[in-house]
Structure 1
Amino acid sequence: MSVETFIPGTEPSGTDVPALSVTDAAQEHFRKQLAEKPDAAIRLSVKESGCTGYKYVIDIVEQKTADDIAIVLDNGVNLYVAPDAMAMMRGTTIDYTREGLNRTLKFINPNVSDECGCDESFSVN
Structure 2
Amino acid sequence: MFSIPGKTPVTVTQAAEARIARLMEDKQAFALRIGLKKGGCAGMEYTMELAEAAAPGDEAIEQGAARVLIAPTAQMFLFGTEIDYESGMLDSGFRFRNPNVTDSCGCGESVNFAPIEGARAGS
User: Cα offset for 1:39?
Assistant: 4.7
Q: Which of residues 92, 98, 102 is equivalent to 2:87?
A: 98
Aligned to 2:70: 81
User: Is contact 2:20-2:67 (8 Å) kept?
Assistant: no
CA deviation digits over 1:61-120, x for unaligned, max 9? Answer: 1011111111112x2322110122111111000001123342111000000000011112
Q: Which of residues 96, 107, 114 is equivalent to 1:107?
A: 96
TM-score (norm 1): 0.82
Aligned letter for 2:36? V
CA deviation digits over 1:10-48, x for unaligned, max 9? Answer: 52xx4x543100000001001111123445211001000
SS at 2:55's partner residue? coil
CA RMSD of aligned residues (A): 1.7
User: Is contact 1:46-1:56 (8 Å) kept?
Assistant: yes
Aligned letter for 1:102? D
% identical equivalent positions: 32
Distance change >3 Å, CA 59–CA 83, structure 1 → 2: same
User: Is contact 1:17-1:91 (8 Å) kept?
Assistant: no
Which aligned segments of 4 or more residues in structure 1 are displaced greater than 6 angstroms?
Answer: none
Aligned residues between the structures: 114
2:36 paired with 1:46: yes
User: Is contact 2:10-2:61 (8 Å) kept?
Assistant: no
Alignment of 1:1-125 (within 5 A): 6=1, 10-11=3-4, 14=5, 17-73=7-63, 75-125=64-114
The gaps in structure 2 that reach 5 residues or longer are 115-123
Q: How far apart in 1 are the matches of 2:41 and 2:16?
A: 27
The gaps in structure 1 that reach 5 residues or longer are 1-5
